Amino acid sequence: MANTLKSVIALMVTGLLACGSAVSALAQQSPDDGQARGGTPLDSLAVHGNANGEETAPKDSRARSPVWALEGDLAGKLQMMTTRYEDTFAEIGTQRSLGYLELVKANPEVDPWLPGDGTRITLPRKYVLPDSRRDGIVINLAEYRLYYFRDGGVQVFPVGVGTEENPSPLTDAEVTMGLESPAWYPPASIRAEYEASGEYLPRMIPPGPENPLGSHALILSEDGYLIHGTNKGFGVGMQVSHGCFRMYNDDISRFVNEVSKGTPVQVIHQPVKVGMRNGQLWLEVHRAREEYPEEEKERLWEQVAEALEAYTQENEKLEIQRRVVEQVIEQADGIPRMIGERVTHLASRDTEAASDSQASERPGAAPGASGSGSPQRWF
């Protein structure tokens, strides 16, 4: 176990990267030559080929991430799976386009490295949509997810984002180009770090297994930033990069063919999300890491209080169950739960009990999520 964890940490450290130089190199290309120093612009490709030079049809990203119908401010559904003896959360995430951390938070009683044979785990695919324009790409740094609004619905992908030392920017940008097989041009600051530690880092790393940009990339109008693949898949869905947005190669290789030049890209930070569906009020709260310090919990309490105060002022006749709100904040596991509903008359005891039983759709919810008693107003 110790050796495994050491290997994982080594992979994360090795996978840290800065993307600015990859974009600056692309800026030097001739607009008429059809080739970029960082790779091949995908809008110039009529067909795609495999390693044998055979033409292949572009892959569809819906094979890994379905397009969920919008249900008011919610989308998706919680799913379950049964693990095999050899499974780990890292492998399950890679195979099913889910982040390691979101699986850990959704399954707090399960060992992520040895879940065991026959263990039932939750796949967190139910979402309160971010408070943003529902157009193009929305990246919520607080939950390490990318939302792509398309075909009247939404796809959701895990992404690796910048660390606290090298944060991803909050921005309103757009896609300027898609690339296949991008090269990486490490900036001088990164090369200096390697030199100080006695290691050599070349000025250019060509496409291949040693390239931290992975197989494909989308260049953004926010100078120096990309959405790209990776050669270290474990960091997807965590804070691991120097600011760029990291996807699984199996996701970006499909996704890059479906996103047009000019697609808007909003980058936001919303650890607390509130939304309505069919008169029901839902709350989703995300802690930043597996650990959950008290100061972060206090901060999330304040953000939830502010969000609910604003929401109740804009929406009349909302009854909110404080005990469910407390449970959501105590866990901060990214699982949406129903915390109240819009009422038009005094609820009967039967109605109250039914409302309580719907308070959480999460399998194995903690005690306190349901029970008898009247719903409590937030104020």
As averages over each run of 10 residues, the pLDDT of the chain (379 residues) reads: 40 41 40 33 36 45 89 97 96 95 96 96 98 97 97 95 88 95 83 85 87 92 91 85 89 93 97 96 96 96 95 86 96 97 63 49 42 40
Active-site positions read: 228, 244
What is the number of other CB atoms lying within 10 angstroms of the CB of residue 185?
23
User: In this predicted structure, what is the pLDDT of residue 375?
Assistant: 39
Q: Kindly report the backbone phi and psi dihedral angles of residue 131, in degrees, each rounded to the nearest multiple of 5, phi listed first.
A: -80, 85
User: In this predicted structure, what is the pLDDT of residue 89?
Assistant: 96
User: In this predicted structure, what is the pLDDT of residue 324?
Assistant: 97
Q: Where are the beta strands (DSSP E) in 38-106?
A: 40-41, 48-49, 55-56, 68-71, 74-76, 79-82
Amino acid in the structure at residue 303: Q
User: In this predicted structure, what is the pLDDT of residue 19?
Assistant: 55
**CA–CA gap between residue 379 and residue 374 (Å, rounded):** 14
- Cα 249 from chain centroid? 15
**CA–CA gap between residue 265 and residue 353 (Å, rounded):** 43
Q: Kindly report the backbone phi and psi dihedral angles of residue 127, in degrees, each rounded to the nearest multiple of 5, phi listed first.
A: -140, 135
User: In this predicted structure, what is the pLDDT of residue 242?
Assistant: 76
Going from the N-terminus, what domains does the chain have, and what CATH number goes with each? 2-67+127-268 (2.40.440.10), 78-123 (3.10.350.10), 272-357 (no CATH)
**CA–CA gap between residue 233 and residue 219 (Å, rounded):** 20
139, 45 Cβ separation under 8 angstroms: no
- Cα 153 from chain centroid? 17
**At how many degrees (to 10) do helices 294-314 and 322-331 cross?**
140
Classify residue 189 by its DSSP letter.
H
User: In this predicted structure, what is the pLDDT of residue 203?
Assistant: 87
CB burial of residue 114 (10 Å; 0-12, 13-18, 19+):
middle
Q: Distances in Å between the alpha carbon of 8 and those of 14, 51, 115, 201, 339?
A: 10, 29, 17, 22, 37
User: In this predicted structure, what is the pLDDT of residue 373?
Assistant: 40
User: In this predicted structure, what is the pLDDT of residue 59?
Assistant: 62
163, 240 Cβ separation under 8 angstroms: yes
Q: Which of 34, 97, 27 is nearest to 252 (CA)?
A: 97
What string of DSSP letters covers 257-325?
Answer: TTPPTT-EEEEE--SEEEEEETTEEEEEEB-SSSS--HHHHHHHHHHHHHHHHHHHHHSSSEEE-HHHH
User: In this predicted structure, what is the pLDDT of residue 345?
Assistant: 56
pTM (2 d.p.): 0.78
